[in-house]
Structure formats: C-alpha cells, structure tokens
C-alpha cells in the first residue's frame, strides 16, 4: 500500500518532445487537402438556398459557369447586365458553345460521358440569361446540369 503511494508521488512528466512532430503531421495534412482556388470572381455570386440539394460527385467532368452582375471594377468594360464567367474571364452567350466544347475536348474520355455543367448563378439574376444558356447547352447535347445551391431555408431567396 505504502509502496504504491510512493510511486504515485513520483509520477514522471509526460514527454512533449513529440508534440512538434504531431503538429507538423496535422499541418501537412491541412496543407495538402487545402485547395486554393486560382480563379477569382469577376461577378457577384451569392448562391440561392435549397433544402433538397444533393452533393455533386467527383470534381472531374464538371464545367463551372458563374453567372451574375459584374463586380464594380469590371462594369466599365462589360456593363451592368449579368455576365457569364468561365475560368476567370467573361464570355458572351454566343461564345459559350465553343468554349464548353473546347473544355469537353480536354477532358478525359471516361469523364466526358458524365460531364455536368454546374451553374453557379447569383440569386438576383433574372431567368432570361439562364434560359439562354440552357438553350445553348441543349443544342450541343450537354444535358446534365446542376443548379449550385447552399444549404438553407428557401424563403431567404425571395
């Protein structure tokens, strides 16, 4: 009894020498999983809310279109009307098909079949431009689309 009590008193301090290593491993993990988006936004892009959204599988085979009113600093060049942004530049509706087909060509064969166009549309934009884009995509038989949304109550969209 007495012996064990003595032992407790002499409890050695926990060694923290391996702490930096642990932290470094964590650090490397976060460094590798972090995806730094290289395209910056040229348009206003507040996505609408939805409750029934499903997760978009794999990031391969996704063509991302951002639609919204140009930011203040670009309004001098392109005006106030909603514009389409594809990979860091503005494109017009009539140029869309060419660009999208070009991107489709660069894709790996197995991704091409399940290619999805992700429409990231600002919630204040009118449906006119969205309808035009859908018509253009239909014409080139790119029929899978996804309306990107955020999780949340839909009444906030109004």
Partner 1 sequence: MPINNQVPEVNAGSMADIAFLLLIFFLVTTTLETDEGLNRLLPPDQDIPEIVVHERNVFRVQLNDANQLLVEGEVLELADLKHRTTAFLDNGGIIKGAADYCDYCKGDRASDSSDNPHKAIIYLEHTRATSYGTYIAVQNELVAAYNGLRNRESLNAFGEGYVAMEQRFYDEKTTPTEKEILKKQIKQIQGLFPQKIIESNANENNNPHEKI
Residues that bind partner 1 (CB under 8 A): 16, 19-20, 23-24, 26-27, 30-31, 33-35, 48-57, 59, 62, 116, 118-119, 121-128, 130-131, 134-135, 137-139, 141-151, 154-155, 157-158
Which class for 86: exposed (0-12), middle (13-18), buried (19 or more C-beta within 10 A)? Answer: buried
CA distance 37 to 122: 19
Which class for 85: exposed (0-12), middle (13-18), buried (19 or more C-beta within 10 A)? Answer: buried
| CB closer to partner 1, 86 vs 137 | 137
CA distance 43 to 69: 5
State in angstroms the smallest separation of the CB of 106 from partner 1.
20
Give the position of tokens 């348009």: 43
State in angstroms the smallest separation of the CB of 91 from partner 1.
18
| CB closer to partner 1, 85 vs 149 | 149
| CB closer to partner 1, 85 vs 116 | 116
State in angstroms the smallest separation of the CB of 131 from partner 1.
5
State in angstroms the smallest separation of the CB of 68 from partner 1.
9
| CB closer to partner 1, 91 vs 146 | 146
State in angstroms the smallest separation of the CB of 24 from partner 1.
5
Which class for 121: exposed (0-12), middle (13-18), buried (19 or more C-beta within 10 A)? Answer: buried
Q: Residue 84 to residues 99, 100, 118: CA-CA distances in angstroms?
A: 12, 12, 12
């Amino acid at each position: 009894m007495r012996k064990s009590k003595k032992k407790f008193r002499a409890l050695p301090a926990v060694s923290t020498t391996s702490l930096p290593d642990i932290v470094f491993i964590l650090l490397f993990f976060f460094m590798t999983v972090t995806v730094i988006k290289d395209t910056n936004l040229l348009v206003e892009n507040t996505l609408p809310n939805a409750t029934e959204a499903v997760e978009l599988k794999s990031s391969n085979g996704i063509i991302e279109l951002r639609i919204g009113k140009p930011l203040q600093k670009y309004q001098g060049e392109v005006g106030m009307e909603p514009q389409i942004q594809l990979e860091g530049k503005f494109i017009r509706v009539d140029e869309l098909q060419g660009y999208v087909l070009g991107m489709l060509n660069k894709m790996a064969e197995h991704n091409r079949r399940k290619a999805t166009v992700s429409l990231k549309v600002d919630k204040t934009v009118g449906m006119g431009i969205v309808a035009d884009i859908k018509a253009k995509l239909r014409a080139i038989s790119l029929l899978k689309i996804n309306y990107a949304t955020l999780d949340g109550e839909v009444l906030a969209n109004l």
